[in-house]
Amino acid sequence: MGQPHQGGAAEAAGTEEDRQPLGVGMVGYAFMGAAHSQGWRTVGRVFDLPRRPVLAAVCGRDAGAVRAMADRHGWAAAETDWRALIARDDVDIVDICTPGDSHAEIAVAALAAGKHVLCEKPLANTVEEAELMTEAAEAAFDRGQMSMVGFNYRRLPATSLARNMVAEGRLGVLRHVRVTYLQDWLVDPEFPLTWRLRKEHAGSGALGDLGAHIVDLAQYLVGEPVVGVSALTETFVRERPLPGGASSGLSAVSETGGLGTVTVDDAALFTGRFASGALASFEASRFATGRKNSLRIELNGERGSLAFDLERLNELAYHDHTEPGAHAGFRRILVTEPDHPYLEAWWPPGHGLGYEHTFVHQARDLVRAIAEGQRPEPSFADGLQVQRVLAAVEESAAKNSVLTPIASSPAPLRGGL
C-alpha cells in the first residue's frame, strides 16, 4: 500500500459547480475520440481549474454508433452533422478528432463561429491548409479565442521535464538529436486499405501519423525549428484489400481484383539540421516488426545527454558530462515527484502515470489558457511549422527517389602475399 497522498491542487479547489462551465463539442469518436473523452471527463476531477469542462456533444456520421459512444463516454448529446455541433450554444470548444482532410474546414468554421478549437495532429494535410488555419487562428486570438494542436507527447511529465532541463542549459550546446517512432501494424499485406493509407484522407502515411509527433517533440525539446532535411520514403506494400469490396465507398481508388492502391508512405527516414546547427536523424515506420508504439528520443550536448523511451514513460535517462569520468554515466530519473511537471495533483512519488494522462494534461493546459487569455502551446503556428517540415521531407524524398549508385569494388585477393 502506498504512502498517504500529501494533497494536490484538486483538493484545494471548490466544488465543480462553483466554476463557470466550458462546453466541449467533439467531432470524431474513434480511437482519438475515446482518448480525448477520457481527458475531458477526468481533468476537472484531478486539477484545480478556473472553469469546469462539460462534455456537451459528440459528432459522427453514424447516428447509432455516435449515440452509443456518447453514452459510453459521458457526452450529453450526439450530433451527426459537425455544422450543427458548432452551432450549439452549449459548445465553447470544438475538439477535432477526424481524419486530416476535414481539419481545415471544421477548424476555420468553428473559429468563425466564435469557438475555441483543439485540433488533432497533424494540423492539416497540406501546408496551404495549415496556413489557412493559422491565419484564422491568429484573427480569432485577437477576438479572445484560443487554438491548440494535439501533440500529446509534449504532455508527458518526463518530456516536459526534459524540456525544462534543456532550457536551463543542463546539456549545453546541442550537437545531436536522434528520434525514432516505430510500429508494426501494417506488416500483414492483407491488412485492409483504410483511410490512413489513402493520401486524399490522411495526407501522408507514417510521415504524418508518426513523423509529425517526433518532429514536434524534437523541436519542443530543442526549443528551435528544423530548418533543412534530406529524406527517403518507401511504400513496402503497394496494394491492399478494399474493406467491404468496391461498394464500400472506395471507388475512387485504383482497383485490381478487389485491391486498392496504397497512396502514402509506409516508412520515412530523414536527417535534418536545427537552426543552431545541431544535427538530427528521424525514422518513422509502421513496418518495424515487433514494435507496437516505440518512440525514442536522445539529445547529446557539450555538457550532457538526455534520453526518453515511451515504453518507459515515467523515466528519463540523464548523463552529466561535467562529472568525473570515473563515476559518470547515464542515470535514471524517476519522473513521479510532485514538483515534476503535471504531477502536483496525481499520486504519491513512485506511482507512475500512463498514455491516457497526456490527454488529461492537454485538456488542463487548454482550459487554463482560455481562462487566462494566454496563447496555448502548441499553437496552430507550431502545427504549421511541423507541416512545413513534413512537406520538405516529401519534396526531398521525391528528389532522392533515385539513389546515387555505389561502384562495386574489385574482388579481394585470396590468400596471403
Sign of torsion over alpha carbons 146, 150, 155, 159 = negative
Which residue has 477576438 as its cell numbers?
A: 143
Number of domains in the chain: 2
Picking from 44, 46, 35, the residue whose alpha carbon sits closest to that of residue 9 is 46
110 and 259 together in one domain: no
Give residue 257's pLDDT: 58
Residue 21: asked if its preceding bond is cis (omega within 30°), the reply is no
201 and 327 together in one domain: yes
Query: Is 279 within the bounds of a domain?
Result: yes
Query: Is 404 within the bounds of a domain?
Result: no
Cβ distance 85 to 91 under 8 Å? yes
- Of 136, 152, 168, which one is at a domain's C-terminal end? 152
140 and 164 together in one domain: no
146 and 163 together in one domain: no
Run of H or E residues at 406: none
Looking at residue 350, its amino acid is G
Give residue 32's pLDDT: 97
Query: Is 4 within the bounds of a domain?
Result: no
Separation in Å, CA 204 to CA 100, 366, 384:
10, 27, 15
Q: What is the DSSP letter of 354?
A: -
Q: What is the DSSP letter of 255?
A: B
Give residue 251's pLDDT: 40
176 and 308 together in one domain: yes
Q: Is 241 helix (H, G, I), strand (E, B) or coil?
A: strand
Cβ distance 178 to 297 under 8 Å? yes
Give residue 414's pLDDT: 61
Q: What is the DSSP letter of 123?
A: S
189 and 321 together in one domain: yes
Residue 341: asked if its preceding bond is cis (omega within 30°), the reply is no
pLDDT per residue as tens, the chain (417 positions): 344 334 344 444 445 557 899 999 999 999 999 999 999 999 999 999 999 999 999 999 999 999 999 999 999 999 999 999 999 999 999 999 999 999 999 999 999 999 999 999 999 999 999 999 999 999 999 999 999 999 999 999 999 999 999 999 999 999 999 999 999 999 999 999 999 999 999 999 999 999 999 999 999 999 999 999 999 999 999 999 999 744 334 444 444 459 999 999 999 999 999 999 999 999 999 999 999 999 999 999 999 999 999 999 999 999 999 999 888 899 999 999 999 999 999 999 999 999 999 999 999 999 999 999 999 999 999 999 999 999 999 999 999 988 888 887 666 656 554
Give residue 249's pLDDT: 40
pTM of the complete model:
0.91
The 10 Å CB-count burial string (b at 16+, else e) for 230-261 is ebbbebebebbebeeeeeeebeebebeeeebb
Write out the residue range of the structural domain in which residue 33 sits. 17-152
Query: Is 330 within the bounds of a domain?
Result: yes
Query: Is 77 within the bounds of a domain?
Result: yes
CATH number for the domain that contains residue 76:
3.40.50.720
- Report how far residue 395's alpha carbon sits from residue 386's, in angstroms, rounded to the nearest whole number: 14
Give residue 17's pLDDT: 58
Picking from 372, 391, 335, the residue whose alpha carbon sits closest to that of residue 129 is 391
Query: Is 376 within the bounds of a domain?
Result: no
Kindly tell me the burial class for residue 10, based on how many C-beta atoms sit within 10 Å of its own C-beta (0-12, 13-18, 19 or more): middle
DSSP string covering 191-236: S---GGG-HHHHSSSHIIIIIHHHHHHHHHHHTS-EEEEEEEEE-S
Give residue 342's pLDDT: 98
Sheet strand arrangement including 116-120: 77-79, 52-59, 21-27, 93-96, 116-120, 147-150
Query: Is 213 within the bounds of a domain?
Result: yes
Sheet strand arrangement including 315-320: 226-234, 267-274, 279-285, 174-182, 294-301, 304-309, 315-320, 331-334
Can you point out the beta strands (E) in 66-202?
A: 77-79, 93-96, 116-120, 147-150, 174-182
Picking from 380, 318, 301, the residue whose alpha carbon sits closest to that of residue 309 is 318
Separation in Å, CA 185 to CA 260, 282, 286:
18, 19, 6
Query: Is 220 within the bounds of a domain?
Result: yes
CATH number for the domain that contains residue 233:
3.30.360.10
Picking from 224, 221, 232, the residue whose alpha carbon sits closest to that of residue 283 is 232
Give residue 304's pLDDT: 98
272 and 127 together in one domain: no
CA angle 332, 335, 336 (to 5 degrees): 130
267 and 347 together in one domain: yes
- Report how far residue 68's alpha carbon sits from residue 33's, in angstroms, rounded to the nearest whole number: 13
- Of 152, 186, 201, which one is at a domain's C-terminal end? 152
Run of H or E residues at 394: helix 380-399
30 and 136 together in one domain: yes
